[in-house]
């Protein structure tokens, strides 16, 4: 293990030594000679041959030479320490390589290098993450989580080769408009700031006009069933319930009422100039949020009986079942780890919409 550990350390020192060699060529020559010995020893170890170079002894003797003269009694414990330290260096290096491979595969297959906490990965797309539960409480659970992460990674790899246009995804969503464009699915959470940015980018680029888009309101839940944004479930329930109600004759808006709610959450402001998403996330209690939605419905032309019907449907098992079904498809079928997630042009896209 000493020769392998020394090889690892020499590899890490290569950049520094290479730079110093510009000014002191003798340093480079000495390092290269030692590096070749280390590589020769490692090569033999990898091929299960006996290391005949004496490199291990050279390393230990160079470290222990001064100790032998001054503190002979410390030679044996230091020698043992070198062996133990070498084992630790090799194990840490192997573990780092495995973790690096895991993060790379996760980033490629799931769009995040942190499977349990996607937002913690700065290398992936900016998303509102669908987090796992509170995490392991002991080393045994930590091992289980580690293998579970690998399972999710390998389970998502086939997604990179799927033609998503041919997938039968049984989402319940809100159709934006009927046109001859290609099918597109846009999964969002009303409370997600990244979803707001993506929605505005889609509007500006004409995404909703060029594609046959189905919007899927999706209140993000963690593995324990807790909603990420306090009022998102209520908003999503009202969107679905409103979409089931017949549009009042007096309503003159360009978007049907269910879409108008989405548009106002993401792109509307109150009389004081505050964005509605911010108000629902940071200022409104559940009662305030429902009162605001009821006010919008009245503005859209729904009479008192219709508004009460929407309130009742929004809190029904029917809507809960729709949300649960969509959640199952998002988490277990398309393996989304963050929102917004869009499916168009045969591919799955995560993060803020970017025009092709």
Distance CA 42, CA 47 (A): 9
Question: Terminal CA-to-CA distance of the chain, rounded, Å?
Answer: 52
| Residue 278 confidence (pLDDT) | 95
Instruction: Please answer whether residues 241 and 320 qualify as being in contact, where contact means their C-beta atoms are separated by less than 8 angstroms.
Output: no
| Residue 10 confidence (pLDDT) | 47
Class of domain 163-350: alpha beta
Determine phi and psi for 19, rounding to 5 degrees.
-70, -45
Distance CA 232, CA 241 (A): 14
pLDDT in tens, 84-105: 666 666 667 677 778 888 888 8
Among left, alpha and beta (phi > 0; psi -120 to 50; other), residue 44 is alpha
For 259, the enclosing helix (H) or strand (E) is helix 257-267
pLDDT in tens, 295-305: 999 999 999 99
| Residue 136 confidence (pLDDT) | 66
| Residue 108 confidence (pLDDT) | 82
| Residue 2 confidence (pLDDT) | 45
Instruction: Please answer whether residues 178 and 219 qualify as being in contact, where contact means their C-beta atoms are separated by less than 8 angstroms.
Output: no
| Residue 258 confidence (pLDDT) | 95
- Enumerate the CATH 3.40.30.10 domain ranges in the chain, comma separated: 163-350
Strands 347-350 and 341-344, sheet pairing? antiparallel
Distance CA 82, CA 69 (A): 18
Per-position b or e across 62-98, b if 16+ CB within 10 A of its CB: eebeeeeeeeeeeeeeeeeebeeebeebbeebeeeee
| Residue 283 confidence (pLDDT) | 94
pTM for this structure?
0.74
Distance CA 5, CA 86 (A): 5
| Residue 325 confidence (pLDDT) | 95
Instruction: Please answer whether residues 194 and 351 qualify as being in contact, where contact means their C-beta atoms are separated by less than 8 angstroms.
Output: yes
Strand ranges (E), the chain: 128-129, 174-175, 182-188, 211-217, 338-339, 341-344, 347-350
Instruction: Please answer whether residues 239 and 261 qualify as being in contact, where contact means their C-beta atoms are separated by less than 8 angstroms.
Output: yes
**Coil, helix or strand at residue 74:** helix
Q: At what angle do helices 232-244 and 286-299 cross, to 10 degrees?
A: 30
Distance CA 154, CA 105 (A): 8
| Residue 239 confidence (pLDDT) | 96
Distances (CA, A) of 356 to 202, 344, 345, 346, 353: 11, 11, 10, 13, 9
Determine phi and psi for 254, rounding to 5 degrees.
-70, -35
- Which segments of the chain have a pLDDT < 70? 1-91, 93, 124-125, 132-136, 166, 356
Distance CA 348, CA 105 (A): 16
């Amino acid at each position: 293990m000493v020769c392998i550990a020394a090889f690892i350390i020499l590899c890490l020192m290569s950049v520094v030594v290479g730079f110093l060699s510009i000014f002191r060529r003798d340093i480079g020559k000495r390092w290269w000679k030692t590096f070749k010995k280390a590589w020769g020893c490692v090569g033999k170890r990898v091929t299960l041959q006996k290391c005949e170079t004496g490199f291990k002894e050279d390393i230990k003797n160079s470290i222990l030479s001064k100790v032998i003269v001054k503190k002979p009694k410390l030679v044996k414990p230091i020698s043992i320490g070198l062996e133990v330290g070498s084992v630790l260096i090799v194990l840490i290096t192997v573990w780092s390589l495995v973790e690096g491979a895991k993060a790379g595969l996760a980033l490629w297959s799931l769009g995040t290098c942190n499977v349990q906490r996607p937002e913690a990965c700065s290398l992936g797309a900016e998303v509102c993450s669908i987090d796992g539960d509170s995490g392991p409480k002991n080393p045994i659970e930590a091992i289980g989580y580690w293998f579970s992460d690998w399972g999710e990674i390998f389970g998502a790899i086939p997604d990179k080769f799927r033609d998503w246009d041919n997938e039968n995804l049984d989402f319940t969503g809100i159709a934006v408009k009927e046109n001859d464009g290609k099918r597109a699915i846009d999964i969002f959470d009303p409370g997600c700031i990244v979803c707001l940015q993506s929605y505005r980018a889609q509007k500006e680029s004409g995404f909703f006009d060029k594609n046959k888009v189905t919007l899927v309101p999706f209140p993000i839940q963690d593995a324990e069933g807790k909603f990420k944004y306090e009022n998102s479930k209520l908003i999503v329930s009202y969107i679905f319930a409103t979409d089931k109600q017949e549009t009042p004759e007096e309503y003159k808006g360009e978007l049907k009422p269910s879409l108008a709610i989405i548009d106002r959450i993401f792109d509307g402001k109150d009389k004081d100039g505050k964005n509605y998403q911010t108000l629902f996330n940071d200022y409104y209690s559940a009662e305030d949020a429902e009162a605001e939605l009821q006010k919008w419905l009245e503005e859209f032309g729904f009479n008192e009986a219709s508004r009460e019907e929407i309130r009742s449907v929004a809190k029904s098992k029917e809507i809960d079942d729709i949300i649960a079904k969509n959640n199952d498809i998002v988490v277990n079928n398309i393996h989304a780890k963050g929102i917004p997630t869009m499916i168009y042009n045969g591919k799955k896209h995560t993060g803020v919409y970017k025009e092709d």
